[in-house]
Structure 1
Amino acid sequence: MYDWKGKVVAITGASSGIGALTGELVASRGAVPLLMARSRTKLDELAARIGESCETYELDVSSPDSVQTVFRTVFEKHGRVDVLINNAGFGRFERFEQAPLADFEHMMNVNYMGIVRCTKAVLPYMLSSGSGHIVNVASIAGKIGTAKSTGYAASKHAVLGLTNSLRQELAGTGVTVTAINPGPVDTPFFDLADPSGGYVANVKKLMLPPRRVAEAIAKAVERSRAEVDLPGIAGFGAKLFHLFPRTFERVSRRFLNLK
């Protein structure tokens, strides 16, 4: 059995949703969660719920200076990060021709390059110790693209490409790499992604509770899983898509394109 006690667990995007619940969950199992996000107010509120076992850090994953400063502080204090959970990310659902170029750049900078920066910051220490676990929260959107998700899906495709390649590079080093691919999750993500609320209304009954994703993250670390698709039917759909892309798109277009 995996022992969380005393494990130093860095979690980006930890001020709400999946990140916050993952912090609470690993803390309850004896880990030391390092909660990282841009909002000091939300981090303080979360820390008050978790208690003294956690630490908070203001982190902007889109800023190389912020990432370097925060993780330098972490290593000066703890000397290690046992688990890195790259959870920070956002999306905007809009048609390609209407989406500003800046939105594509910003999503790639946060969702993809944010993971690159944070992983670069911790990986040398993990390799030197011969142990560690990197969890990248990607998305089913990284496997199946849908209308109005060109920028978001592209950034998550990039995350999966990075994760799968890095896993092969690190084979035999003692460092594990995991991709978590949830479908729609009931979190504040949609406040920005779907401000009209139309998409959320269409998929409300299918949305995952964030605690289920947090539990899947913890279980993936405990079992050294390479990848987890949530829900399972979505992972099955992704496999069908890759086997029969045109047929799958034709049959499922009406169901998938609810934005």
Structure 2
Amino acid sequence: MSLNNKVIVVTGASSGIGALTAQLLSQQGATVIIAARSLQKLQSVSSGMMGPCRMIELDVGKDASVQSAFEQILAEFGHIDCLVNNAGYGKFEYCDAMPVAEFAEMMNVNYMGIVRCTKAVLPAMKKAGSGIIVNVASMAGKLGTAKSTAYAATKHAVLGFSNSLRQELRDYGIQVTTINPGPIDTPFFHIADPDGNYVNNVKWFMMKPERVARAMVSAIEKGKAEVNLPRSAAIGVKLYQMFPRLADRLSYRMLNKK
């Protein structure tokens, strides 16, 4: 899909890969609606946009906020060509130490946020007979590790939702893409890993956000169903899926760095 003049909504666009992806999409000629809870942070992102840009306040964890935001977008632009569901967060903690309320809130934002935004665009996309929905999941959705019980569960849910949705929408001309990155050097870890232990342990393996943002834009242009990053992690996931118990034993110490 050529991105020129396409209307693209990016959630969680106030920082990290959301902000960079929005700016790259803008460079390709898209009209980009950047959405997040903080308009102040979005203002900073918008200054780096090369093409038409619209900021909108959006909390994906709240029904009313999602409904209001997408009603405004559709009223102004009439259609949405692509939705990038990027908003989300993580916290790393052992299961017995993580409050149940934190499990619920992480699921509300990371998974239900995607459900809310997707449902908000589907009627218009179905009517148009085209569209792309990009859901940012994670390698954690395919390979669980210690202290990720809450976070990994949300990303497993995103993958299950996306794979089923892809089948539902096949006859409507709507593409569903999942992006599954490993650790990325972004502000995500300010919340997920405030003491910095995990970041220090996997610094050698962490990807630059620019690499992931470029892969996301390429996936939109090429209509890819799934992107796994980095390639070495993708190979590891395939081996894990074929030999899960053996992989557990062999990879325990290497993967559990939190």
Query: Aligned runs of 1:137-152 on 2, under 5 Å?
Result: 137-152=136-151
Query: Aligned runs of 1:110-189 on 2, under 5 Å?
Result: 110-189=109-188
Q: 2:90 is matched with which residue?
A: 91
Give the distance between the partners of 1:183 and 1:23, measured in 2 at CA: 20
What is the Cα deviation at residue 246 of structure 1? 0.7
Unaligned runs of 5+ in 1: none
SS state at 2:91 partner: coil
Distance 1:83 1:145, change over 3 A: same
Tell me the alpha carbon deviations over residues 201-246 of structure 1, each in whole angstroms, 9 at most, x when there is no partner: 0001110111111111111111111101000111111111111111
Q: 1:14 is matched with which residue?
A: 13
Tell me the alpha carbon deviations over residues 105-145 of structure 1, each in whole angstroms, 9 at most, x when there is no partner: 01100000000000000011001000000000000000000
Query: How many residues of Structure 1 are paired with residues of Structure 2 in the alignment?
Result: 258
CA RMSD of the aligned region, Å? 0.8
- TM-score between the two structures when normalised by the length of structure 2: 0.99
Q: 2:106 is matched with which residue?
A: 107
Give the distance between the partners of 1:177 and 1:14, measured in 2 at CA: 20
- TM-score between the two structures when normalised by the length of structure 1: 0.98
SS state at 2:48 partner: helix
Q: 1:72 is matched with which residue?
A: 71
What is the Cα deviation at residue 95 of structure 1? 0.4
Give the distance between the partners of 2:34 and 2:50, measured in 1 at CA: 12
Give the distance between the partners of 1:180 and 1:82, measured in 2 at CA: 18
SS state at 2:203 partner: helix
Give the distance between the partners of 2:167 and 2:232, measured in 1 at CA: 26
SS state at 1:88 partner: coil
Q: 2:203 is matched with which residue?
A: 204
Is 1:254 aligned to 2:253, yes or no?
yes
SS state at 2:133 partner: strand
Give the distance between the partners of 2:31 and 2:144, measured in 1 at CA: 36
SS state at 2:171 partner: coil
SS state at 2:135 partner: strand
Q: 1:42 is matched with which residue?
A: 41
Q: 2:190 is matched with which residue?
A: 191
- The aligned amino acid for 1:159 is V
Give the distance between the partners of 2:125 and 2:67, measured in 1 at CA: 16
What is the Cα deviation at residue 51 of structure 1? 5.1
SS state at 1:253 partner: helix
What is the Cα deviation at residue 67 of structure 1? 0.1
- The aligned amino acid for 2:121 is V
Give the distance between the partners of 1:142 and 1:191, measured in 2 at CA: 20
- The aligned amino acid for 1:154 is A
Does the CA contact (< 8 Å) of 2:23 and 2:50 recur in 1?
no
- The aligned amino acid for 2:120 is A
SS state at 2:17 partner: helix
